[in-house]
């Protein structure tokens, strides 16, 4: 029996530099027509040198705190989902803690690739059971472009940068959005289909040797596509079923924004119309762990989500990891 957990504030931040498909046509052998028909993406944002992961996270966090009517000093924990932190050490969560002027409170990064935000959300839900007074800053922040190979046209057109943040509170500080349920899944046996091996202890950097393609995202796109559709649909159905619901009972579905064809295939599997599915992949591209909190923040800010609505989130990413969460507004 879990105690209730709430979302008390949301915020997003995008880098200042927009990159259209026409911009990418000038960088790599691709075309607007290919990118739009295969992915639905027309634009994404690229972080510049003064916008590392921690800076994007900080800007999203400040907006989420303002949205919750809280000050940094009200926070009790900081969790950051990312695969593209500023450094290997210190963690982005520790950098963020310092930028917020805080000391002492626990702060860590969580590595679950594009599922990083939902993994952090469920971790926060568990922490609020232990600590009902908790006010946890949960951030998905990515500078995907720092780990993308701009000589590999099959991946570099897909990703963008950004951050989304939520303030997750326990029973002692109820917020306007209740987290009804969440489920996390993983399958390491197929992790080789989506990798960044370089820099790890099994693929060590060697002083003075150049950085090769293994230091960047390498992906079997077709296989990842199939797993993404199947896994996101399955975990969404399981979460709905165990709450006595069907997709008809949900007002909005927010899937990980990787590719419009993946999103449409999930809608088909769940037997819902696209009018019930939130899409911003066309404007923002795949921002990995930031994708869901950015979409959720937008959907609330634009009035797409109204009080009383049930919203289903689902994600899929490297590992493989996938997850779903059910929210009551």
Residues that bind ligand UT7 (CB under 6 A): 30, 34, 38-39, 114, 153-154, 157, 194, 221-222, 224-225, 228, 258-259, 262, 286, 316-317
If the CB atoms of residues 280 and 328 are measured against ligand UT7, the closer one turns out to be 280
Q: Which of 120, 149, 256, 259 is catalytic?
A: 256
Q: Minimal distance in Å, beta carbon 27 to ligand UT7? A: 11
DSSP, collapsed to helix, strand or coil, labels residue 150 as coil
Q: Minimal distance in Å, beta carbon 298 to ligand UT7? A: 18
CA 196, 198, 204: angle at the middle one, nearest 5? 150
d(C-alpha 325, C-alpha 87), whole Å: 29
Torsion 235-126-79-180 (CA) sign: positive
If the CB atoms of residues 215 and 225 are measured against ligand UT7, the closer one turns out to be 225
Of all residues in the shown chain, the one whose CB is closest to ligand UT7 is: 221
If you write DSSP's letter for every residue of 201-263 in order, what string do you get?
A: TTS---TTPPP-GGGS-EE-HHHHHHHHHHHHHHHHHHHHHHTT--GGG-SEEEE--S-HHHH
If the CB atoms of residues 100 and 144 are measured against ligand UT7, the closer one turns out to be 144
What is the chain's length?
A: 329
231 given a catalytic annotation? no
* Of 67, 98, 61, 100, the residue nearest 80 (C-alpha): 61
Q: Which of 149, 173, 259, 286 is catalytic?
A: 286
Q: Minimal distance in Å, beta carbon 132 to ligand UT7? A: 34
43 given a catalytic annotation? no
**Which residues, 6+ apart, have CB-to-CB distance to 209 below 8 Å?**
none
Q: Minimal distance in Å, beta carbon 42 to ligand UT7? A: 13
Q: Which of 5, 53, 94, 114 is catalytic?
A: 114
Q: Minimal distance in Å, beta carbon 54 to ligand UT7? A: 22
Q: Minimal distance in Å, beta carbon 163 to ligand UT7? A: 16
If you write DSSP's letter for every residue of 49-87 in order, what string do you get?
A: TT--HHHHHHHHHHHHHHHHT--GGG--EEEEE-SS-S-
d(C-alpha 203, C-alpha 218), whole Å: 14
Buried b (16+ CB within 10 A) or exposed e, 281-290: bebbbbbbbb
d(C-alpha 249, C-alpha 194), whole Å: 34
If the CB atoms of residues 34 and 329 are measured against ligand UT7, the closer one turns out to be 34
If the CB atoms of residues 31 and 76 are measured against ligand UT7, the closer one turns out to be 31
If the CB atoms of residues 259 and 314 are measured against ligand UT7, the closer one turns out to be 259
114 given a catalytic annotation? yes
Positions annotated as catalytic residues are 114, 256, 286
């Amino acid at each position: 029996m879990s105690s209730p957990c709430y979302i008390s504030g949301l915020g997003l931040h995008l880098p200042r530099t927009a990159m259209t498909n026409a911009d990418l046509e000038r960088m790599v052998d691709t075309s607007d027509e290919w990118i739009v028909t295969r992915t639905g993406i027309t634009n994404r944002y690229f972080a510049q040198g003064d916008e590392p992961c921690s800076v994007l996270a900080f800007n999203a966090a400040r907006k989420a705190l303002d949205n919750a009517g809280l000050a940094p000093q009200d926070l009790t924990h900081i969790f950051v989902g990312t695969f593209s932190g500023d450094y290997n050490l210190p963690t982005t969560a520790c950098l963020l803690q310092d930028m917020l002027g805080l000391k002492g409170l626990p702060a860590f990064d969580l590595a679950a690739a594009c599922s990083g935000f939902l993994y952090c959300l469920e971790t926060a839900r568990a922490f609020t059971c232990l600590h009902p007074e908790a006010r946890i800053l949960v951030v998905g922040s990515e500078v995907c472009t720092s780990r993308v190979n701009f000589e590999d046209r099959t991946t570099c057109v897909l990703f963008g940068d950004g951050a989304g943040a939520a303030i997750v509170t326990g029973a002692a500080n109820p917020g306007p959005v209740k987290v009804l349920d969440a489920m996390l899944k993983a399958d390491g046996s197929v992790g080789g289909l989506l990798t960044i091996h370089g820099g790890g202890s099994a693929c060590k950097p060697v002083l003075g040797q150049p950085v090769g393609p293994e230091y960047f995202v390498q992906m079997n796109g077709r296989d990842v596509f199939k797993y993404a559709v199947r896994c996101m649909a399955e975990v969404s159905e399981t979460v709905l079923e165990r709450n006595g619901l069907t997709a008809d009972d949900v007002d909005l579905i927010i899937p990980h924004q990787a590719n419009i064809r993946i999103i449409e295939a999930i809608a088909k599997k769940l037997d819902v119309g696209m009018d019930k599915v939130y899409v911003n992949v066309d404007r923002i591209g795949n921002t990995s762990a930031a994708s869901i909190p950015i979409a959720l923040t937008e959907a609330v800010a634009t009035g797409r989500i109204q009080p009383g609505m049930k919203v289903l989130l689902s994600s899929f990413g490297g590992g493989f990891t996938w997850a779903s969460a059910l929210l009551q507004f």
